[in-house]
């Protein structure tokens, strides 16, 4: 063990000048250096243009992915001020792109409402780009400045004349910082479409020009704003509306503005998306809490007023929100987010504002639209009955054992270790594969749970059907966490939950069913990073007792060439149609040995997208599922199905 340095003095205090802090700790400013952080660069510059739109000066934004994954974002706003900044002694535009916490979003006359990183966005993007080029059009002159990793050798300079106004930013993300510099068209399209919905009438033109022979793009402009957002969500998921037109209302309090759109559908799941100054607050906050409180109060009050609820009967918030899609958007002069990455709104004054708005407007709507009100009540009462049935089923499960725990499943071969930092459970389809896995495993820390028969598709079932289900109960009992509102990740018995199924269509279906179950009723397993997919090989390639396992056709062909010495010798190739074809030693070596296996962690960076995919793939509607499969068929070649 090395001797620690106890001399902690003034020489150990490090001062990071200018944008060095951003390059040293990029995650503090953009969340991560993975794909999420890479796309965040685009969001920050787009947010600046949208702030110009909110101020009433920008009507069109263009976003382009150019060859080499270069990004160009242009708008027709006022253009960043180019005059000399009194304090800094350089152009104000240069200040915005080189000085942290500099911009027009701290009060004064710049912006009443803004989204970006409060003066950090543009400079952070500049710091994390290999190069960035800024062009400003001020209605008279064209100004230009080139930066490299946040530094510049030449000041902002005039390069021509113009009668247009606006700003254009072109940059290349720095591969010294980011794990990947390749942008996802779909990820950017989703975010840009979201922004177009939230800013009714704003035109966003998005184009991907990386492949000159396959240029693609969309023009996004929605005069109906968040009303169309709700309709888009339902169309994308194949959900049927139950409440006629989208319900919409808005209101102001001082400088604060809020708008809400909602509609019921035929699913059992709620979708509530909240935004503050166009930023998606995925963890909610005061605006979302105010909305939930208010809708629960209004629907219960209306029910009593109309004699639809018995004296002691009360609908819970979960009952009322079953099958509800709602968008909540607030625009505030000063947003208080509870973290740098803005996932939760903190402004306490917003909660009573939203509560008052929803109580007044929604009550009026229900009174004026009795048919829609009746539908909401029937759906909510049905959800209440299902919840009560689920409670009875849950209590019945608890009463099976005096200690409130279900006995371990018959088909569970448990491990010796009890510390979930070291344990893992393989959920395996079929007795044959389960038998091989039990024999081949390391019994000290690997448990095996065999499943059989067709599993319940929970996307088409309420929670009362989950309790006691003979296919799902063994999974719940083995993991030990409970489900739904009873879920407690502290009780998880295995740190890794590994789904191991055949590499065919049936195997893919089993994976989808299990992941849907985890997503709907044990979601913290996914958000906490406990769920994995095993990757068994597709082929065994052998010659003269030299064996390779291949996980793709390309890998198989490469091994055949190597072992046959380019076709001179015969090579044996075995195609594994199922896990049961492997003996225990092969299964251990290829799929279960931590030293040699490949397992894929299931993450949920985008909960809404995951929710949409599960609804489309596992729901009742055939057409959206067909459209999804056709759109993503090009990715299926790697799955060998």
**Known catalytic residues?**
429, 502, 504, 506
Asked if 233 contacts 573 with a C-beta cutoff of 8 angstroms, the reply is no
Distances (CA, A) of 601 to 50, 390, 427, 429: 35, 31, 15, 19
DSSP conformation letters of 565-592: TTTTS--EEEE-SSGGGS-HHHHIIIII
The helix/strand/coil state of 38 is: helix
Alpha helices in 205-336 (DSSP H): 226-237, 286-305, 317-320
| Residue matched to tokens 């037109």 | 245
Which pair of structure tokens corresponds to residue 54?
A: 């909110």
Beta pairing partners, 413: 448
**Residue 382 is encoded by which pair of tokens?**
């049905």
**Which CB contacts under 8 angstroms, 24+ apart, belong to 86-95?**
90/155, 90/156, 91/143, 91/145, 91/155, 91/156, 93/134, 93/136, 93/143, 93/145, 93/156, 94/145, 94/152, 94/155, 94/156
Q: In Å, what is the CA distance from 464 to each residue of 38, 179, 343, 382?
A: 42, 44, 32, 12
For 77, half-sphere exposure in the C-beta direction (CA atoms, 13 angstrom radius) is 28
Q: Tokens 């995919």 sit at which residue?
A: 613
Q: Are strands 203-208 and 60-66 parallel, antiparallel or unpaired?
A: parallel
User: Distances from the Cα of 272 to the Cαs of 9, 268, 565, in angstroms?
Assistant: 52, 13, 60
The DSSP output letter for 544 is T
Bridge partners for 543 per DSSP: 546
């Amino acid at each position: 063990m090395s001797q620690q340095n106890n001399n902690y003095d003034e020489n150990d205090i490090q001062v990071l000048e200018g944008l060095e802090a951003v390059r040293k700790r990029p995650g503090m400013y953009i969340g991560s250096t993975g794909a999420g952080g890479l796309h965040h660069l685009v969001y920050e510059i787009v947010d600046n243009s949208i702030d110009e739109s909110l101020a009433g000066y920008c009507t069109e934004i263009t976003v382009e992915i150019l060859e080499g994954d270069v990004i160009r974002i242009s708008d027709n706003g006022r253009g960043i001020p180019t005059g000399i900044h009194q304090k800094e002694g350089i152009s104000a535009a240069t200040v915005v792109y080189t000085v942290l916490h500099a911009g027009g979003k701290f009060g004064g006359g710049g912006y009443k409402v803004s989204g970006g990183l409060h003066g950090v966005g543009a400079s952070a993007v500049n710091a994390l780009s290999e190069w960035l080029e800024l062009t400003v059009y001020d209605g008279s002159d064209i100004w230009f400045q080139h930066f490299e990793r946040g530094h510049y050798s030449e000041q902002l300079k005039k390069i021509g004349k113009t009668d247009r106004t606006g700003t254009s930013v072109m940059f290349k993300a720095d591969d010294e910082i980011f794990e990947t510099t390749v942008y996802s068209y779909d990820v950017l399209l989703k975010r840009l479409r979201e922004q177009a919905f939230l800013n009714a009438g704003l035109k966003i033109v998005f184009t991907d020009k990386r492949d000159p022979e396959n240029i693609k793009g969309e023009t996004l402009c929605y005069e109906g704003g968040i009303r169309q957002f709700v309709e888009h969500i339902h169309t994308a998921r194949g959900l049927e509306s139950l409440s006629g037109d989208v319900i919409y209302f808005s209101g102001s309090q001082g400088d604060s503005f809020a708008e809400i759109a909602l509609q019921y559908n035929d699913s059992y799941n709620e979708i509530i998306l909240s935004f503050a100054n166009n930023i998606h607050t995925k963890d909610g906050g005061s605006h979302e809490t105010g909305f939930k409180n208010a809708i629960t109060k209004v629907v219960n009050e209306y029910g009593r007023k109309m004699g639809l609820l018995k004296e002691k009967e009360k609908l819970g918030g979960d009952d009322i929100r079953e099958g509800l899609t709602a968008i909540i958007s607030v625009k505030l002069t000063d947003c208080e987010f509870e973290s740098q990455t803005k996932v939760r709104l903190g402004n306490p004054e917003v909660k009573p504002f939203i509560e008052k708005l929803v109580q007044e407007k929604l009550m009026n709507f229900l009174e004026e639209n009795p048919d829609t009100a009746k539908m909401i009540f029937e759906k909510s009462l049905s959800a209440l009955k299902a919840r009560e049935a689920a409670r009875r089923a849950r209590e019945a499960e608890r009463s099976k054992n005096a200690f409130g725990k279900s006995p371990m499943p018959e088909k569970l071969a448990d491990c010796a270790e009890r510390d979930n930092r070291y344990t893992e459970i393989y959920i395996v389809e079929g007795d044959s594969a389960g038998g091989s896995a039990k024999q081949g495993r390391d019994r000290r820390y690997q448990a095996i749970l065999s499943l059989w028969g067709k599993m319940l598709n929970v996307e088409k079932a309420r929670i009362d059907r989950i309790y006691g289900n003979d296919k799902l109960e063994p999974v719940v009992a083995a993991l030990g966490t409970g489900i739904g509102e009873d879920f407690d990740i502290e009780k998880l018995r295995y740190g890794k939950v590994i789904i191991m199924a055949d590499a065919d269509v049936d195997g893919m279906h089993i994976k989808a069913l299990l992941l849907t179950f985890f997503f709907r009723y044990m979601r913290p397993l996914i958000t906490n990073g406990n769920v994995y997919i095993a990757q068994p090989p597709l082929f065994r390639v052998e010659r003269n007792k030299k064996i390779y396992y291949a996980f793709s056709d390309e890998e198989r062909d490469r091994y055949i060439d190597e072992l046959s010495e380019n076709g001179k010798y015969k090579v044996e190739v075995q195609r594994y149609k199922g896990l049961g074809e492997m003996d225990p030693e092969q299964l251990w070596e290829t799929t279960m040995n931590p030293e040699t296996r490949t397992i894929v962690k299931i993450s949920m960076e985008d909960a809404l997208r995951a929710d949409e995919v599960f609804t489309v793939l596992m729901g009742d509607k055939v057409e959206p599922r067909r459209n999804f499969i056709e759109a993503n068929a090009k990715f299926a070649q790697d799955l060998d199905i």
